[in-house]
Amino acid sequence: MIPELNQSGVLPPFIPERGPTDPAGMAPYRTTITEFVSRYALSPERITILRGLLEYRQKLRAIGINNGFQWLDGSFVENVELNRGRPPADVDLVTFAMRPTTDLEIWKGIVNDNKELFLPNESKERFKCDAYFVDLNTHPIHVVSNTRYWFGLFSHQRESYLWKGMVEVPIVCADEDALELLDRGIGNV
């Protein structure tokens, strides 16, 4: 479940009633893509970004990236319209996933053939996703280092250093249900 925004207009880093030491009450908040879409379909700009996110996720699954999860964050999960007087431009995300192959040459080919999924500037232009990838097939030291980096970056606002939360969604989820919500105009718009 995604908690309500706090008085600063961001997801809290933990649910105050549970305290910062309860792992079940702290970010990243695990949810479904359908709940995420329903929660953040607040404007035409956000709906465009959500459609891009759903397309991005579909393309990942189409190349065999099915075993993992994504952290979703950035101004998209904040009340940026009120706090900064503008809509979000994209959604920030990090995909943590197992490669669809252990053959590094095949993997390099998959990445080269799908640069719009792995190069942030291209994913941002094509899908409105500022997207990054953490390969869970690498050595655990690298996985921990990457996780530390992304958690540190995503758990604070860039400008104010305000501590905030993020959302976690499995890669394999009911995306078709979320897309149907958008197609039917259901959400918070």
Alpha-carbon Rg of the chain, whole angstroms? 16
d(CA 126, CA 59): 12
Q: How far apart are CA 33 and CA 24, in angstroms?
A: 19
Q: pTM to 2 decimals?
A: 0.93
pLDDT digits over 89-135, tens only? 999 999 999 999 999 999 999 999 999 999 999 999 999 999 999 99
> pLDDT of 53-64, one tens digit each?
999 999 999 999
Residue 160: Cβ-neighbour burial (10 angstroms; 0-12, 13-18, 19+)? exposed
